[in-house]
Amino acid sequence: MQQGRTSLYATPNGATTAAKSHLQKDHRSLIAIGSSDGGSGAGDSEPSPRRQKTLEESLRKTLVTKTTGQLFRDTLLGWLAGANIPFSGIEHPLFRQLLCLMNKDLLQEVLPHSGDTIRAWMKAEFEAEKELLKDELARSPYKKHLTFDLWTSPNQYALLGITVHFVDQSQQLQFRLLALKRIFGSHGGENLGPVLQGVIEDFALSEAVGYLTADNADSGDSAIRELFQALLPQDDSVPDLARRRRIRCVNHELNLSATGFLDGTFKEAIKKLPPRSEEREFLQEENDFLENWRQSGSIRKLHDLMGWIRRGVQRREQFLQL
């Protein structure tokens, strides 16, 4: 509309940019009516900063491929688990600043803001890997042999580690950690057995259990017995089966032998022998010899020397300089 005349303008494909430019140039008073800044058309001709940011974020999201995001997630979880980093570690400002130096846009898209998200990721990853392990075990037609050991963590948790040993489809020997279960209460076999049973049933190994290896503690014997009684409740040969399937850890036996040689005594064995018997006299002489030797022998002297060195900071430093 100009000097009383009305003109029609066609806009290609419904575009409005040209129309806005015409109104701003030739009819500034018209657009000032709806303008809150006294005639400036900047607010109408340009998107708001917030809308621009949203558009930029949308465009940036298309640059993060699924492969890149998954690779970052897997690497991050591997680092957290392998280096024993707390989940909240990703919340530290310096850690986030360090990663943003590499690729700020990428990190803003793929790096979580909360350790709770990392915990959820880790749990989901564990469940996914667990299913893969179940499939791998199911494809193996051979027996699955277990080793288990009780361990106290630095934060005073009693943990039972359970590992499976098996031969896969390609005839290769494999071993996998099945579980690291926290043990509450007694550490006897009556408490460990049900934990073993739960893990075995969770991985569908009840029909494929072979031999079980543990240290020489009596709790290992009773735990295996409890396990087979639960797996084979109607079998009268469970005690004999548990005894035959139980393997004692060779490394633990060697450790016990060395410890017994260095620190052990024959007092209990001597008490069980008949008085004045040849065996009793022999063990008594052996016991007396070991006690005297430990007080003045080379092993004792070396032990005392190392203890003396380690008890002093300056002595330790001098020893390391030798």
Chain segment 215-272, per-residue pLDDT in tens? 988 899 999 999 999 999 888 888 899 999 999 998 888 888 877 777 667 777 777 8
Q: pLDDT tens across 120-156, in order?
A: 999 999 999 999 999 999 999 999 999 999 999 988 9
Q: Rounded to whole angstroms, how far apart are CA atoms 156 and 234?
A: 39
Tell me what pLDDT residue 253 has. Answer: 85
Residue that wins the pLDDT comparison between 108 and 196: 196
* Residues 252 and 215 sit within 8 Å (Cβ to Cβ): yes
Q: Rounded to whole angstroms, how far apart are CA atoms 300 and 239?
A: 44
Give one DSSP letter per residue of 25-89, joined into a string: HH-HHHHHHT-SSSS--HHHHS--HHHHHHHHHHHHHTTS-HHHHHHHHHHHHHHHHHTT--GGG
**Per-residue pLDDT band at 175 (split at 50, 70, 90):** very high
**Per-residue pLDDT band at 37 (split at 50, 70, 90):** very low
Residue that wins the pLDDT comparison between 164 and 270: 164
CA distances from 130 to 133, 137, 177, 225, 312 (A): 5, 11, 10, 27, 49
Q: What angle do CA 154, 155, 158 make, to 5 degrees?
A: 85
Radius of gyration of the chain (CA): 37
Domains of the chain: 65-126 (no CATH), 140-253 (3.30.420), 265-320 (no CATH)
Beta-carbon count within 10 A of 118 CB: 21
Mean pLDDT in residue range 189-203: 95
**Mean pLDDT, the chain, integer:** 82
The pTM assigned to this predicted structure is 0.64
Tell me what pLDDT residue 57 has. Answer: 54
* Residues 146 and 166 sit within 8 Å (Cβ to Cβ): no
Tell me what pLDDT residue 280 has. Answer: 85
Q: Rounded to whole angstroms, how far apart are CA atoms 52 and 284?
A: 92
- Positive or negative, the Cα torsion across 273, 275, 279, 284? positive
Residue that wins the pLDDT comparison between 22 and 221: 221
